[in-house]
Amino acid sequence: MVGGGFWLGKPNLKDLAQLNIKYLSASLILLALRDWDKKFGKSAILVLWFVVPILTTWLISQKFQSIFYDRYLLYTIPAAMLLAASQMRRAGKFVSAVVIIIYLYADFIYFTHPAKIPFRDLVNYVKSSEKSGDYLINEDPGNHKLWEAKYYEIPAPIYSPKSSELPFFVGTALMEKGDVVSSLPKDAKRLGVITYKKGSELEITGYKSSEEKGFGSLNFVWMDKIK
């Protein structure tokens, strides 16, 4: 399925380092304080469990379609956590208590202050500025907002000019016919584009940016048809 195409780009060494840092986070301190000299043979399987899948996936992504994505490698995290929680030195117990407090506080902030894109505000803007003959699309097939658009009743299919069928990735199984389009209606006088790009960055043949409005990290851009 991956050989059929994917939307991920080829990862570099910086991506590899960032993924490891993201997964290990504060546990790096505990791993550094761990007593590695004690029965390392029993720890080797945990080290391999964490390192091998990540490196293998990174190497495969250098020659074939990229599959290097943090969500697909979450199963390596338990190995790192088991390493961090075992064979600790005396100082490690104090540090682990501090780390637990930090994580509990971070979880509290995360769950009580969720970072949510104000999609409702975007919808209100679209409905107030939409005109007869307008056509709405989702520009980014990798980070689309198809489901939100459906929920708020502003139909905006994913625009994929190269193909009407997106490469395999999580979410396509629930898509219906018409959720992805490879061409635009000839009678569309104006395009409404849900995107993470600026209007000046959008390149859609036959249209130019005329108005845009930001909603957090998301933008909505009106594009007029070039006469």
Where do the structural domains in the chain lie, given as residue ranges?
Answer: 2-112, 119-225
pLDDT of residue 170: 47
Mean pLDDT computed over 183-203: 91
> Does the pLDDT at position 88 exceed 90?
no
The stretch 2-31 carries a mean pLDDT of 79
Secondary structure letter of residue 126 according to DSSP: H
If you average pLDDT over residues 83-111, what whole number do you get? Answer: 83
Mean of pLDDT values over 76-102: 84
Query: For residue range 27-40, what is the model confidence (pLDDT) as tens digits?
Result: 787 788 787 777 77
Which pLDDT belongs to residue 172?
A: 67
pLDDT (average), residues 55-82: 89
The number of residues in the chain equals 227
Closest Cα to residue 49, out of 84, 16, 75, 21?
Answer: 75
Quick one: angle between helices 13-24 and 40-63, nearest 10? 140
* Model confidence pLDDT, tens digit, residues 113-143: 877 889 999 999 999 999 998 999 998 876 7
pLDDT value, residue 137 = 95
Phi, psi of 64 (to 5 degrees): -120, -175
pLDDT band at 226 (very low <50, low <70, confident <90, very high): confident
63 pLDDT above the threshold of 70: yes
Nearest to 152 by CA among 118, 185, 182, 129: 118
How many H-runs (helices) and E-runs (strands) does the chain carry?
7, 6
